[in-house]
Amino acid sequence: MFRLQSSKVLAVDMTGDAVKAKNGSMVAYDGEMAFKKLSGGGEGLRGMVTRRLTGEQMTLMEVKGHGTCFFADRASEINLVGLQGEKLFVESSNLLATDGGLRTGTSFTGLRGASQGNGLFTTTIEGHGQAAIMSDGPAVLLRVSPQYPLTVDPGAYVAHQGNLRQSFQSGVTFRTFVGEGGGEAFQIRFEGDGLVYVQPSERNTIAGDV
């Protein structure tokens, strides 16, 4: 149902089923489509309350119909992720669309969220189906194994999946050397077994500094 029309445009073929997508990301469609704004990131009243309390912002719409709908957002690169019952953790600003049957929620991330100014929680996607996530430039998929933990700059982090543990450590980033850092920089360390999506262009954060 999900396919890439180009690296920056997602095409979703629908036969009466529904998808959830970032509000305002529809760029074109053929056939008959109906659009409905979803509250609380598609999780109803409970999700709306949870997201307001946690500071995690995500506005989704439901698209349902027959035909093909095309989605894009600020010319971001799009990456398709297939889920077979596992959970995907993704920054809400990097989520473009999911199958209507996938469940979305929030998960505590601790310091990483605070360092990005996105709150202390991140979005989770769980179930069987496809999700489309965005990155500023082509995303790089990095493997984490018990022998090889991975350290990521918070501004480059997009998403992760698998049996991974997160921790936070102080360190030095490139911005420190070019004079943009204003305090102590923090990095995310992943340990365990799984995959981490990173983007080659760092988003604007509070300089990763706390």
Write the pLDDT tens digit of every residue in 82-95: 999 999 999 888 99
pLDDT value, residue 54: 41
pLDDT for the residue numbered 37: 87
Beta strands (DSSP E) in 55-177 are: 60-71, 77-90, 95-99, 103-108, 121-135, 140-144, 150-152, 157-171
Q: What is the pLDDT of residue 171?
A: 62
Which of 64-73, 161-170, 186-195, 198-207 bottoms out in mean pLDDT, i.e. has the lowest?
198-207
Q: What is the pLDDT of residue 177?
A: 56
Mean pLDDT across 99-115: 71
Q: How far apart are the first and last CA of the chain?
A: 42
Higher pLDDT, 206 or 151: 151
Model confidence pLDDT, tens digit, residues 133-172? 999 999 999 999 999 999 998 889 999 999 999 887 776 6
Q: CA dihedral defined by 100, 102, 108, 111, rounded to 10 degrees?
A: -70
Instruction: Give whole-number Cα distances, 5 to 1, 11, 65, 76, in Å.
Output: 12, 6, 19, 13
Q: For residue 79, give Cα distances in angstroms to 38, 94, 119, 174.
A: 23, 10, 24, 26
Handedness of CA 155, 143, 127, 110 (dihedral sign): negative
pLDDT of 42 above 60 = no
Highest mean pLDDT among 5-9, 36-40, 54-58, 204-208: 5-9
Burial 160-198 (b: 16+ CB within 10 A, else e): bbbebebebeeeebebbeeeebeeebbbbbbbeebbbbb
Segment 195-208 mean pLDDT? 71
pTM of the model as a whole: 0.80
114: alpha, beta or left? (left if phi > 0; alpha if psi -120 to 50):
alpha
Q: Which two tokens stand for residue 93?
A: 């600003």
Q: Per-residue pLDDT for 113 more than 50?
A: no
Higher pLDDT, 127 or 116: 127
pLDDT > 70 fraction of the chain, expressed in percent and rounded: 72
Average pLDDT, the chain: 81
Q: How far is CA 152 from the centre of its chain?
A: 15
Q: What is the pLDDT of residue 79?
A: 96
Domains of the chain, start order? 1-196 (3.60.160.10)
pLDDT at 20: 94
Q: ∠ CA(143), CA(149), CA(150), 5° rounding?
A: 70
User: For residue 175, is pLDDT > 50?
Assistant: yes
pLDDT in tens, 49-97: 444 444 445 688 999 999 999 999 999 999 999 999 999 999 888 999 9
Look at residues 99, 102, 72 and name the one whose alpha carbon lies nearest to residue 85.
102
